């Protein structure tokens, strides 16, 4: 009796898959031919895989057990195919990645080349846009010569040669227009300068004439001041004489008052001194008595004691007696 496994026939031997794996296992992509060989292998694997799928559909029509056996065998066979197919896919992916890298590097280099050309074109364009309208005529002519002598070669600008030539021509035309404007501007400036010099000459002539007029006016003013000064001095002389006369009278009065004041102060001083002598004479006995008391306080003998407490009291007593004696003498001297 045949089992379900015996009934499963995919018409693909394991040896075929093993041979296919051996055929493509060590393949390396080195050129277009080897790349095509890998693609062919992927096609063979895909063809076998599709045959298995087709056969699977055919066999699956039988009973469920048979279908399960068919699925198992399908999965087994596909599992055998998968390593080899994946191996070729990995080889192909590596080659695709390499080609993509080469392409990216080429595109980066091409972008760098284009950026450099664009930068040179922008530099040409900037030569005619960097405030050239404000440049002096000499600088504009130097810039015009520089643009005129500039060459746009296909080697340097490649596919952008025509664009670069157009930018150069526009820049040259802009500079020429600015040269015309600057020439007219310098001409107008020269005319303004000449007119300014003419007006300056007139101003200086008028200034010289005004100086002469001012000098004459100053001479008249000085003469008038001399006359005024003469009259003022005469008036001052008269006023000074009157002031000196009045001052002499006041000085005589003040001198007399000072003599009288000095005599009065002398008499008051003699009277005050007399009163002080009388006062001192009256206080002299009391003053002598107080000084005697003060001396007596200094002569008081403090007993010789032994205990620290008594010695402290004795020392304090001597200090206070000395202070009292000094204070009495000071107050007595003030009497």
Q: Let me know: does 154 contact 107? Beta carbons within 8 Å.
A: no
Assessment of whether the complete model's pTM goes beyond 0.75:
no
Q: What residue segments make up the domains of the chain, in order of their start?
A: 4-119, 129-219, 283-333
Cα gap 221→219, rounded to integer Å: 5
Q: What is the pLDDT of residue 238?
A: 87
For residue 332, give the nearest of 295, 296, 287, 297 by alpha carbon. 287
Q: Let me know: does 46 contact 89? Beta carbons within 8 Å.
A: no
Q: What is the pLDDT of residue 7?
A: 46
Q: What is the pLDDT of residue 159?
A: 84
3-state secondary structure of 299: helix
How many CA atoms lie less than 13 Å away from 122 in the CB half-sphere?
Answer: 6
Collect all residues with Cβ–Cβ distance below 8 Å to 291 and sequence separation of at least 6. 328, 329, 332
Q: What is the pLDDT of residue 63?
A: 59
Tokens of 194: 């000449």
Note down pLDDT in tens along the chain; length 335 residues: 445 455 456 667 788 888 888 888 888 889 888 898 899 989 988 998 888 888 888 777 665 677 677 778 888 888 888 888 898 889 889 888 998 999 999 889 888 888 888 888 888 887 777 677 777 778 888 878 887 888 888 888 888 888 888 888 888 888 888 888 878 887 877 788 888 888 888 888 888 878 887 787 787 788 878 877 887 888 888 888 888 888 888 888 888 888 888 888 888 888 888 888 888 787 788 888 888 888 888 888 888 888 988 889 888 988 998 899 899 888 888 87
3-state secondary structure of 24: helix
Q: What is the pLDDT of residue 46?
A: 92
End-to-end Cα, the chain, rounded Å? 165
Q: Let me know: does 140 contact 175? Beta carbons within 8 Å.
A: yes
- H or E segment to which residue 316 belongs: helix 308-333
Q: In the 8-state DSSP scheme, what is residue 61? A: T
């Amino acid at each position: 009796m045949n089992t379900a496994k015996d009934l499963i026939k995919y018409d693909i031997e394991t040896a075929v898959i093993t041979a296919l794996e051996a055929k493509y296992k060590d393949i390396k992509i080195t050129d277009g031919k080897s790349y095509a060989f890998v693609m062919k292998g992927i096609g063979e694997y895909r063809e076998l895989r599709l045959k298995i799928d087709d056969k699977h559909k055919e066999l699956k029509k039988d009973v469920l057990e048979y279908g399960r056996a068919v699925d198992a065998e399908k999965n087994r066979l596909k599992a055998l195919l998968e390593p080899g197919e994946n191996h070729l896919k990995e080889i192909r992916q590596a080659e695709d990645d390499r080609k993509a890298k080469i392409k990216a590097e080429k595109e980066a280099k091409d972008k760098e080349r284009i950026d450099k050309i664009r930068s040179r074109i922008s530099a040409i364009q900037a030569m005619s846009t960097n405030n050239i309208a404000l440049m002096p005529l000499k600088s504009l002519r130097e810039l015009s010569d520089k643009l005129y002598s500039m060459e746009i070669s296909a080697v340097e600008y490649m596919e952008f040669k025509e664009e670069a030539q157009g930018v150069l021509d526009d820049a040259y035309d802009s500079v020429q227009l600015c040269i015309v404007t600057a020439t007219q501007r310098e001409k107008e400036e020269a005319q303004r300068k000449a007119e300014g010099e003419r007006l300056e000459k007139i101003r200086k002539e008028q200034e010289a004439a005004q100086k002469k007029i001012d000098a004459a006016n100053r001479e008249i003013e000085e003469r008038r001041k001399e006359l005024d000064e003469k009259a003022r001095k005469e008036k001052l002389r008269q006023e000074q004489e009157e002031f000196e006369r009045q001052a002499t009278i006041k000085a005589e009065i003040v001198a007399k008052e000072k003599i009288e004041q000095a005599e009065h102060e002398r008499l008051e001083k003699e009277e005050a001194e007399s009163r002080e002598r009388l006062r001192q004479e009256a206080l002299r006995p009391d003053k002598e008595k107080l000084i005697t008391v003060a001396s007596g306080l200094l002569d008081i003998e403090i007993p010789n004691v032994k205990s620290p407490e008594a010695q402290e009291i004795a020392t304090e007593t001597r200090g206070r007696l000395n202070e009292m004696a000094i204070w009495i003498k000071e107050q007595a001297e003030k009497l």
